[in-house]
Chain A
């Protein structure tokens, strides 16, 4: 970890100015990702602008019936906020599925969006990584790529975005509010994270110096029919191999509105709006769900140690949709087990 100076900013514009005035500076939120990366020498800022004192931790109602989550509210406070639990239980359960209580008490909402991939090669300075050092190569493509992506990958990079919360935010169609040297603006969640393309070193569409001030949720929280299905190598405290967040509005057996996103499979939470439209207006059925799942993974590409994610992802979508329809997370012995699309 290199040496650095640190400023504790008291206001947003002070923070923006402080960062802009230092070369090689970074914003510090909860530190759960940045400090980890600095100890690994992957991130080497020489100045930190600490945001802990900024008045951005509130969670408050929006006039359109939505909810604004302050960027500096912790993941724990957000997950256990009464409004979030009541109106956006999908978000609450998704946050609680990630990390640990200790990490959730430190991690901020803004930081959760900005956390970097956990690809092994990104972390290992001894191996080539285009995200860490553009042009050096991608060690994951022919390496241990169990945690890497199968959708939207490129020849430069197959890394995944590791967040659970972001998968729910994608399904909820949240909006990200940011502030920077050029003022304030909003970014639709689906536009916030990028695909790697030939510039894998850039994770998101923030401009230089911008910081996330809030995440705004629309009024619809899918509180009646939702699920977050997280599949991973152990029962807790592990990243998703595949995670599916689903929100539905139903009328009897018919799906009126469907939103879902898949995590662990791409550089950003994966939404497929055509697949969502396949569900709308239809009666829920295993065959329908399998068709939708097949559509989502039709272009998927495996790289050896992660090829299992394609079949697992298909089955996860089918299972998650079933859970969201029935709001029953206990598995039962019927046609959905051992599905063979």
Chain B
């Protein structure tokens, strides 16, 4: 008698598998991941089943051979910011504490779908930052050159070049005329939810337990070391505990007695009604808070500034909506008759210098991945990869050496904007 294979029939996603399953009424598709009950103990428990937590689990299993791993998520998979952002990826960073890390992320994005066998619609449509003054041009020149020095693609466009690319921007009646822009051609967008799903499926296939609707309520410490988490599904012991709960980092870290250089803020994002192709690349306004791209489904996806106050509410207020929309129409007057379909809010970890933290903590066996501000999505692959590196090898990946928790005490902040220790200015 044949042994019944435990592997699903068409485990690998491909045009062929879609075709064959289609012929059989799609009745044979298996769950993309299991629904496991937690085991009493894992080598690594990751708190947070968002993009970063799932990516960490995926790379731990795939690249570092650590497979006895659980990801615990208080809601559903990807219920945090991985499903609430404006889907932009880019590596146009200025400082050497950030730039190599985000470029690593970009390189991982570029091979991601084939790597985890899930179409996340990585689309390198270009990211263009507009400038409206000599000072902005000079700042972009500085940044573009920093990118070039690290081998990152960057192009400085003048007004005519921007006009050729996006003739419908307000060139003729603007309060702050567009002078040009800094373009990263490899920047673009990714279908955000699919990133969480792809990593979850890839991690699950390699033995990681992804446990949804499992809220962490406490961190158990023995002799100063973290040894496990109390959860809504009982205690789960672990050799190493990794926090990847951006938005709620402060609350989780507090369970281990840590106070972080982080405030939680709400950032709103928006989508318009579906339109036929309207704008091809990602554009960022330089004279107000507005960035926009168009999804494959046709909606204009856009965002702007933080509401500005500490919040855990995942919803913002009308004043911030108006602020963003005004900037949008200032940049593209023709948006006037386009309608906003939906607004939503995500709670982001705003760190005190605007840059993330991937580091060990003063608590033994406790690892921290936090402080992503509103840049977390684009960082997902590198964040997972580098956090996995840190957890597995107990030493930072070369690109995250500056992303230390003690950098504030040491005076080694990574402050791209030079805004100082006020999170809502970053």
Tell me if chain B binds chain A.
Answer: no
B residues in contact (CB < 8 Å) with A: none
A residues in contact (CB < 8 Å) with B: none
